[in-house]
Structure 1
């Protein structure tokens, strides 16, 4: 392949990227469907598929026996061994997962902590777990990158964590630390921005081009924006920090933190408190709140829902999205009374901005951050499968 040069080489690489991207986003596709989707001729698609098979990025499967119309066409699927490792450090736990190019999550481990983990400790933890997985369940995996979803401001140019307030990280060289610990390429992004990307590509926002996404986690509230189908990061990559906005609170009785920002008022910690839990993952907290008949629980959910509605109405007025997606504990708040939340947002938003608005909870649930971080990890491979696969083979 080294004899390819100039324009032909560029077109060839783009075509490889197009095919790999299609089976990654859509799942297994027949050669016939790939031909139709790309506009390439059958022989070109067959040659490209053969090359991706040779690179170990896809596998060719037998035709679907139920398809009896015309000549059976082989099915092309992402190779199940191609994997990204994802990491989400939080104030109460570090969650590490393995995500396949085919969307499966064969491994996940939540390591609960009773202290704030440092960037160095996070890197060591990732390396230790990855070593154990490589000698066991991921012994056959082809790990292409590590993607980190961090609850803080991450500089887009180099992955430096400028400020993760709840973790107390300032200018943390997390990418460098994890690269040294694992020997793998590392990419770092804001957790909520990656959640927005995941929901846009695979979840509640699939097929929607203008989305506001808010993520509620142990570290507070972050957000992500999709505008005209493209993620919006801002000049430095710091866009979407909805949790740091000053909320409008109509009733003085609803305020809990004098002069506080949104995430001080709409708070996972406050929900844990009324639920009587010292700590919990997302499904456990949601189940406890849903099962409770305590007046304190219903009152706190209603209070947080009122404040959240005002924050969402402000976002709708400024950005005019067609969809708002809520993840984490914000999804739990929304699901406690979705009609009340929608009505409160509509009441406070400009009618024209909200007339076609939909409110949805994250469809990917607790997988959203892992899938978003994996997407960041797969980016180089998807953009140039030939170079990325050769680099990966050289590293092995």
Structure 2
């Protein structure tokens, strides 16, 4: 009897594991044929059929008729993640709180940016997010399931409980923001560093797709954050704080950073400095990119000098990242992507001149592909993670 019980438990464990694998493939790849699932998993057709049927019954995937083709034989049905299974994404910033609704198919259904006009406290940000979620009830009512809330925070977040240890630009310290947000919205909430979530989003759905070793840097109003993917897995460190490349040394004669060090990347390369030479008070990434491009095209000497200065310090940081992590791809988001786009061949050449030749020979530097959706998708992926790990739970 004990043997039968153990065998039954083992079979159930294998089934649950296989459900997770199949759902993960469909979630990451988009609509795929059953035949693709059999090839990628190594499972037989009948097993795949049973797993898909269970995921359909759970409401996590849907079957679609295949597109017409000239291939002989009956075409395999397409399996797609159910976009009506959704997560709520939240991103508090220094001047706004952005809330989105993202489907299991990685599509952003809605994104609402609520300007604050000041740096919100953690309690304010949670209240604002809850109010926006209330306003999104019609969108949520159309969902078959809301799995919870994922939060992208520009700061150090303790992995196990979502406590924001330090978010200097938000002026938050030791804030249990995930718990506050869960209490305010009524949904379970998970929080992590925004750049780490952005790195994962680009790895799964954007410019990092297909690469197993990635360094992602994002530049925004709150400074420069980074996330590192090693062997296809996020590099988190013992408490979830790894990847703070915004605080790597690039200028030993620079100014003191808020972290206490001298010459950090985010003090030398900043959105604020670019806006200042452009004569702008504020701009989103697309507006900033257009303004930079126009100023460089007309030969604005002050803008060109600032771009040159920032690219020089950025190349030093990327040299460090290249030598330390040996990545296949460096992905640049936010205003860093806009800087790179001004002359896409220039930054790779600058990095190659400084980095170890062996580390740089296979490196590519690209602009992030997900644009303004990146943190919504990254935060939603955090909220989806328990479901993807255990679809039948």
TM score, norm. by length of structure 1: 0.92
Report the Cα distance in structure 2 between the residues aligned to 1:257 and 1:146, rounded to whole angstroms: 36
Q: Residue 97 of structure 2 contacts residue 113 of structure 2 at CA under 8 Å; is this kept in 1?
A: yes
Q: Residue 301 of structure 1 contacts residue 336 of structure 1 at CA under 8 Å; is this kept in 2?
A: no
Deviation at 1:67, TM superposition (A): 5.4
Counting only pairs closer than 5 Å after superposition, residues 266-305 of structure 1 correspond to structure 2 as 266-292=269-295, 293=298, 294-305=300-311
Q: Residue 249 of structure 2 contacts residue 265 of structure 2 at CA under 8 Å; is this kept in 1?
A: yes
Partner of 1:346: 352
Q: Residue 251 of structure 2 contacts residue 264 of structure 2 at CA under 8 Å; is this kept in 1?
A: no
Partner of 1:217: 220
Counting only pairs closer than 5 Å after superposition, residues 228-243 of structure 1 correspond to structure 2 as 228-243=231-246
Alpha-carbon displacement from aligned partner over 1:105-124 (angstroms, at most 9, x marks no partner): 11011112211111111111
Report the Cα distance in structure 1 between the residues aligned to 2:115 and 2:91, rounded to whole angstroms: 12
Structure 2 residue matching 1:338: 3-state secondary structure: coil
Partner of 1:393: none
5+ residue gaps, structure 1, are 388-396
Partner of 2:16: 13
Alpha-carbon displacement from aligned partner over 1:51-94 (angstroms, at most 9, x marks no partner): 11111111111232235421132211111201111111111222
Report the Cα distance in structure 2 between the residues aligned to 1:80 and 1:207, rounded to whole angstroms: 23
Report the Cα distance in structure 1 between the residues aligned to 2:121 and 2:107, rounded to whole angstroms: 29
Q: Which aligned runs of 4 or more in structure 1 are off by greater than 3 angstroms?
A: 255-260
Work out whether 1:331 is the aligned partner of 2:337. yes
Q: Residue 149 of structure 2 contacts residue 190 of structure 2 at CA under 8 Å; is this kept in 1?
A: yes
Q: Residue 249 of structure 2 contacts residue 264 of structure 2 at CA under 8 Å; is this kept in 1?
A: yes
What is the aligned counterpart of 1:377 among 374, 383, 390?
383
Report the Cα distance in structure 2 between the residues aligned to 1:72 and 1:341, rounded to whole angstroms: 46
Report the Cα distance in structure 2 between the residues aligned to 1:205 and 1:171, rounded to whole angstroms: 32
What's the RMSD between the two structures over aligned residues? Answer: 1.7
Work out whether 1:138 is the aligned partner of 2:140. yes
5+ residue gaps, structure 2, are 1-6
Deviation at 1:25, TM superposition (A): 0.6
How many residue pairs match? The answer is 379
Report the Cα distance in structure 1 between the residues aligned to 2:106 and 2:14, rounded to whole angstroms: 27
Work out whether 1:175 is the aligned partner of 2:181. no
Alpha-carbon displacement from aligned partner over 1:189-209 (angstroms, at most 9, x marks no partner): 101111111111111111111
What is the aligned counterpart of 1:318 among 319, 324, 337?
324
Report the Cα distance in structure 2 between the residues aligned to 1:315 and 1:124, rounded to whole angstroms: 38
Counting only pairs closer than 5 Å after superposition, residues 100-179 of structure 1 correspond to structure 2 as 100-134=103-137, 136-141=138-143, 142-179=145-182
Q: Residue 248 of structure 1 contacts residue 310 of structure 1 at CA under 8 Å; is this kept in 2?
A: no
Report the Cα distance in structure 2 between the residues aligned to 1:146 and 1:355, rounded to whole angstroms: 40
Partner of 2:203: 200
Q: Residue 91 of structure 2 contacts residue 98 of structure 2 at CA under 8 Å; is this kept in 1?
A: yes
Structure 1 residue matching 2:123: 3-state secondary structure: helix
Partner of 1:79: 82
Report the Cα distance in structure 1 between the residues aligned to 2:18 and 2:326, rounded to whole angstroms: 35
| Greater alpha carbon shift after TM alignment, 303-312 vs 67-76 | 67-76
Work out whether 1:227 is the aligned partner of 2:230. yes
Q: Residue 257 of structure 1 contacts residue 265 of structure 1 at CA under 8 Å; is this kept in 2?
A: no
TM score, norm. by length of structure 2: 0.92
Q: Residue 23 of structure 1 contacts residue 78 of structure 1 at CA under 8 Å; is this kept in 2?
A: yes
Q: Residue 274 of structure 1 contacts residue 297 of structure 1 at CA under 8 Å; is this kept in 2?
A: yes
| Greater alpha carbon shift after TM alignment, 100-109 vs 258-267 | 258-267
Deviation at 1:332, TM superposition (A): 0.9
Q: Residue 149 of structure 1 contacts residue 188 of structure 1 at CA under 8 Å; is this kept in 2?
A: yes
Deviation at 1:5, TM superposition (A): 5.0
Q: 1:38 to 1:67 in 2, by over 3 A?
A: farther
